[in-house]
Structure 1
Amino acid sequence: MQTVTSADGTTIAYDRVGEGAAGTVILIGGAFSYRKFPSMIDLAQTLADDYDLTVLNYDRRGRGDSTDSPGVYDPANEIADIAALVEVAGGKAALFGWSSGAVLALLAAQSVPGITEVVAFEPPFVVDPKDRVPPKDLADKLHPMIAEGKRDKTVRYYMTKAMGMPLMMVGVMRVTPFWKRLTETSNSTAHDWAVMRPYMRGEKLKAADWSGVEVPVLVLAGDRTVPMLTKGAKAAAEILKDAEFAELPGVSHDPKIAILAPAVGEFLTRAK
């Protein structure tokens, strides 16, 4: 584990995997994800081993070994965290983002110097008013739960109200060993919501809001994911200046790294 200090003094922990000659990619997890999450470890190692990439796999603030900014939930701070990691990478790096991490990657690409490409896996944009839209007062209920240390309740609330998971499915998850990992990162959900809040309203994406993304972007979705996520991914690819969309066979929002990694690695290492 290594650390870097972000602009506001938050400590960001990361692992450097590989020392490849094909460039550096920074992995950005989604809600509840962190650098020791098995899928993130597997993806990092595969990109290093099979594509000669140097991979920085980090804990977003409030997760794992990174510190937090309790009560302060501003996407600008998470963008500054990424900027600090790009500096660690020598001033140039690609970004891979998963779920809310994909949206954070696209936001960072608008302002952080040195970002070369972005791979956005299933950014959870809600662009159709017919799909489930999170409640407008979500932050007003979420923040007090976090402040009061109600971790179980925070996980249940965020999964059902922000992510739209069925309550029964969440109930089943509560009796698995995995639940403990979710509660450990539950406080970071306020950062996820700060990123996603403007883009889950059931409204079309506006090209003007994303005009600052000038690097090549690969937007990915699995063919087994929920239709809402496919709609959001395709909408993002349509409004970005230099983007392409690809659908991965046999993949859901919890991806098979053996299928995801080649799509990411080939995009990041193909001849420019």
Structure 2
Amino acid sequence: MDKVTSADGTAIAYDRLGDGPAVVLVCGGSVDRLSNAPLAALLAEKYTVYNYDRRGRGDSGDAEVYEMEREFEDLDAIFAVAGGSAHLYGTSSGAVLALLATAAGRPVNRLALWEPPFILEGTRERPPANTADIYRDFVAKGRRDQAAEYFMAEVVGLPPEFVEMAKASPWWPAQEAIAHTLAYDATVMGDYSVPTETVAAVAVQTQVLTGGASDEWMRLGNEAVVKSLSDGSHRTLPGQQHNVDAAVLAPALKEFFA
């Protein structure tokens, strides 16, 4: 692990693996860089992989007030370490962050997105517009457990029995520890609709990947993203759901980045 300093002085931790063209990995909500570690190890067979902790998670620092632009600057710092530009991969809400950062002009060579969770009107209920405030309120009251539970049950839509099992699991304290970052991802997602004009501003070759066993609303939202891209493609990985198997995903990314 190493650290780089972002523009606002926040320390951003990252792992560097492998040798070859640079690839930067962006994690999604309620996780840190360890969630991408299996993928990083497989991509490192062909690439130099930079797997970093987004601010507020793992070994990275944080700022008192969250602004999405600071996350763009965190990526700038990682790109600088990587040699000035890199391929970029993001998963879930991290895919949306990667998409928005690329649209804002970050030095991305190729962009790969795993299931950005945009919700088209009428396909499923969208989270409330004040979701970020709901998370912040829970955390301010010292109820990180409720913030994590709200994310799983109300935003992701996991069944009650799974949520109860999660709360009794050994990894639940880690969920509570980064519960404050749930508001960050809610800010990134906005109202969960596809920001078509922003997506159209992405000027690099982009591939959106979807699991063949994922819900239809996810597939429809992902296809809508591709329609708004100037140079986009869609690929389905058979049998995969949102929690994708790195051994299945890595070959697809290697092919695209090559």
Q: Do the structures match in fold with TM over 0.5?
A: yes
Which residue of structure 2 aligns with residue 31 of structure 1? 29
1:160 positional shift:
2.1
Q: Which runs of 5+ in 1 are unaligned?
A: none
The answer to which of 173-182 and 216-225 deviates more is 173-182
> Equivalent residue for 1:45?
41
> For 1:166-222, what per-residue CA distance to the aligned partner results, in whole angstroms no more than 9, with x for missing partners?
333211211122222222221211111110023x1xx5x353222220000010000
Would you say 1:150 and 2:148 are equivalent positions?
Answer: no
By how many angstroms is 1:111 displaced? 2.2
Aligned to 1:62: 56
| Counterpart-to-counterpart distance in 1, 2:115 and 2:215 | 10
SS of structure 2 residue aligned to 1:123: coil
Q: C-alpha distance in 1, partners of 2:244/2:173? A: 21
In the other structure, the counterpart of 2:212 is: 223
**The residue matched to 1:36 in structure 2 has which SS?**
helix
Q: CA deviation at 1:56?
A: 0.3
Structure 2 stretches lacking a partner, 5+ long = none
Counterparts of 2:254 and 2:173 in 1: how far apart (Å)?
32
155, 159, 163: which one pairs with 1:166? 159
CA RMSD of aligned residues (A): 1.4
TM-score by length of 2: 0.95
Cα distance in 2 for residues equivalent to 1:48 and 1:109: 23
Q: Please tell me whether the aligned partners of residues 127 and 231 of structure 1 are also in contact (alpha carbons under 8 angstroms).
A: yes
2:17 matched to which residue of 1? 17
CA distance in 2, matches of 1:161, 1:107: 25
CA contact (8 A) 2:27 2:54 kept: yes
Distance 2:160 2:55 in 1: 27
The answer to whether the 8 A contact 1:79-1:112 is kept is: no
Instruction: Find the aligned partners of 1:147 and 1:7 in 2 and give their Cα distance.
Output: 27
Give the whole-Å Cα distance in 1 for the aligned partners of 2:42 and 2:244: 14
- Counterpart of 1:184 in structure 2 is 177
Q: Partner residue of 1:132?
A: 125
Contact 1:24 1:89 in 2 (8 A): yes
User: Structure 1 pair 206/188, CA: closer, same or farther in 2 (3 Å)?
Assistant: closer
The answer to whether 1:3 aligns with 2:3 is yes
- In structure 2, distance between residues paired with 1:94 and 1:250: 26
Amino acid at match of 1:242: D
2:227 aligned to which of 216, 229, 238: 238
**SS, match of residue 67 in structure 1:** coil
User: What's the % identity of the aligned pairs?
Assistant: 39
Say if 2:23 and 2:89, in contact at 8 Å, map to a contact too: yes
Tell me which amino acid in the other structure corresponds to 2:257: L
Q: Kindly state the Cα deviation for residue 112 of structure 1 after the two structures are TM-superposed.
A: 3.7
Question: 1:74 and 2:72 equivalent?
Answer: no
Amino acid corresponding to residue 168 of structure 1 in structure 2: E
- 1:87: which partner in 2? 80
Q: 3-state SS of the aligned residue for 1:183?
A: helix
Native 8 Å contact 1:151 1:187 kept in 2? yes
Letter in 2 for 1:61: R
Change in Cα spacing, 1:112 to 1:147, as seen in structure 2 (3 Å) is farther
Partner-residue secondary structure (3-state), 2:233? strand
Rounded to whole Å, the distance in 1 between the matches of 2:238 and 2:117 is 19
